Amino acid sequence: MRFTSQTSSDGVTEQFFTLDEIPGVLWTPEDASAPRPLILLGHGGGQHKTAPGIVSRARRYAAEGFAVVAIDAPNHGDRPRDEEFGRIAAEMRAGIAAGENPGALVAGMHSYLAGQAVADWQAVLTAVQRLDQVGAGPVGYGGMSMGCGLGIPLIAAEPRIRAAVVGLLGVHGLAEDAARITVPVQFLVQWDDQMVPRDQSLALFDALGSAQKTLHANPGKHGDVPSFEVDSSLRFFIRHLS
């Protein structure tokens, strides 16, 4: 793990790093030295580790004492694109433009990325937990849309993750992994999501194996999650990780 830059503002330190081929960012409270709970943030499709929605949540969580990590997903951000990804992305766009079932097309893309994404997160988690200011404490995961599509297999596979806030995605391709998840989950639905049919969202919530799961639905389209849900996710992580 190699740190490439460090800046601090408003009480939060932001460090860019690379671990092998994976570019990432670590946010911690300024001058943090003792272990603390860690939150992994997975970005949406076509976005990257410093998308505005990731940075604002990361800084908010870090200001409350958490360590937070975001990485570029495979074929996203500063990482190289492979030919197969380009082919799948083009097919997905053409299919959606032609009116095909977006759930199946999006699930195909996530399925292509998930194996590598899960391995990346597991390697980053191991490396970050070796840092004095993080340590081997409880871990949460937060990710919407593609961050949910790659997060569900990760949470199902990774026993170190104890709680998750996910959503903005349907059940397509995820039912089996969702059923294996038993940790507390807060699940977000946008009631008028133009990309995810409502019944498919509700079916993914339904499929989660967790005894403690809670669904929050709000009016508006895919990108219109209200800002109070950031506060709510913070309280959820405090409740389950602190």
Contact footprint for its own copies (CB under 8 A): 189, 191, 202, 205-206, 211-219, 226, 228, 231-232, 235, 239
Angle at 25 between CA 22 and CA 31, to 5 degrees: 140
Q: Which is nearer to its own copies, 87 or 239 (CB)?
A: 239
Q: How far is the CB of 158 from its own copies (least distance, A)?
A: 23
Q: How far is the CB of 182 from its own copies (least distance, A)?
A: 13
Going by their DSSP bridges, the two strands 213-218 and 139-144 should be labelled as unpaired
Q: How far is the CB of 201 from its own copies (least distance, A)?
A: 11
- Structural contact between residues 60 and 230, judged by C-beta atoms closer than 8 angstroms: yes
Q: How far is the CB of 218 from its own copies (least distance, A)?
A: 5
Helix (H) or strand (E) holding 27: strand 22-29
Q: How far is the CB of 235 from its own copies (least distance, A)?
A: 8
Q: Whole-angstrom Cα distance, residue 136 to residue 38? A: 9
- Structural contact between residues 138 and 162, judged by C-beta atoms closer than 8 angstroms: yes
Q: Which is nearer to its own copies, 47 or 201 (CB)?
A: 201
- Structural contact between residues 39 and 30, judged by C-beta atoms closer than 8 angstroms: no
- Structural contact between residues 187 and 166, judged by C-beta atoms closer than 8 angstroms: yes
Helix (H) or strand (E) holding 196: none
Q: Which is nearer to its own copies, 131 or 225 (CB)?
A: 225
Q: Which is nearer to its own copies, 27 or 61 (CB)?
A: 61
Residue type, 107: A
Q: Which is nearer to its own copies, 80 or 219 (CB)?
A: 219
Q: How far is the CB of 230 from its own copies (least distance, A)?
A: 13
Chain centroid, CA 212 distance in Å: 19
Q: Which is nearer to its own copies, 33 or 212 (CB)?
A: 212
Q: Which is nearer to its own copies, 24 or 184 (CB)?
A: 184
Q: How far is the CB of 144 from its own copies (least distance, A)?
A: 16
The pair of structure tokens assigned to 63 is 């200001």
Going by their DSSP bridges, the two strands 12-19 and 2-9 should be labelled as antiparallel
Tell me if residue 50 falls in helix, strand or coil: coil
- Structural contact between residues 33 and 132, judged by C-beta atoms closer than 8 angstroms: yes
